[in-house]
Structures are given as C-alpha cells and as structure tokens.
Structure 1
Amino acid sequence: MSLPKDPMILLSFVNTKLRDEFTDLEEFCKEEDISIESLKEQLESIGFQYNETIRQFK
C-alpha cells in the first residue's frame, strides 16, 4: 500500500496506524518501507513533530 500524498491525510493515516497497529514509529516505517527521517520531514513541513511518549505526531 502506498502512503497518502496529501500531508494532512498522511498525518491522519500515520497517527491512526500508530494508535491501532504499531508499537512505534520505527516499526511502522519498516512495514511501509519508508525512512523515518523522510516521514518526519514531510510532517514537520506542516507543523507536526513526533512525540515518542504518546507515539503520535502532534
């Protein structure tokens, strides 16, 4: 499955997957075959940063 291209939809998709299916961002990125840094950069470009404590982008 390819990741959504729209950053806001990507944010929702990633946070839902992290909440429902994965224990952390690293596991999600391995499954989706995407680099953590690339994903963080995409979501930081719209003002969201990964919070390890709650395992979500806020």
Structure 2
Amino acid sequence: MTNSDSSTNTPETEVKDSYVKLAMRNMVKKGGLSLKHFFLTTVGLLGFLVGISYLTR
C-alpha cells in the first residue's frame, strides 16, 4: 500500500519565504525600476531635510 499523500507538501509543512526574501525577489524581477524609485526617494528626502533646515535656521 503506497501513501502518495505523505510525499506532497501540504500548506502546513511548506516553509514560507521571509518578507525580505520576497522583497529582494520582487526587486530583481522589476529590474532598474526599484533602484530608480529608491534613488528618487533618497534625493527627495535629502532635499526635504535640507529645505527644512534652511527655513528653520
């Protein structure tokens, strides 16, 4: 008697990927778009902080 159900992964036994692993996979899939958004966000945040510091001096 063979039990084929024991060889398949059930949702309870599957290892779920971590959030970081899924995010990295998504970044690789989207290519340069994620990097472009990252650099735009960085430049925008730095510009905002410099602007606020200039206004409040």
Q: Same fold by TM-score, threshold 0.5 exceeded?
A: no
Q: Which is higher, the Rg of structure 1 or of structure 2?
A: 2
TM range (shorter): under 0.3
Normalising by structure 1, we get a TM-score of: 0.25
Which structure exhibits the higher relative contact order, with contacts defined as CA atoms closer than 8 Å and separated by 6 or more residues?
1
> Normalized against structure 2, the TM-score is what?
0.26
Q: Which structure is higher in strand share?
A: 1
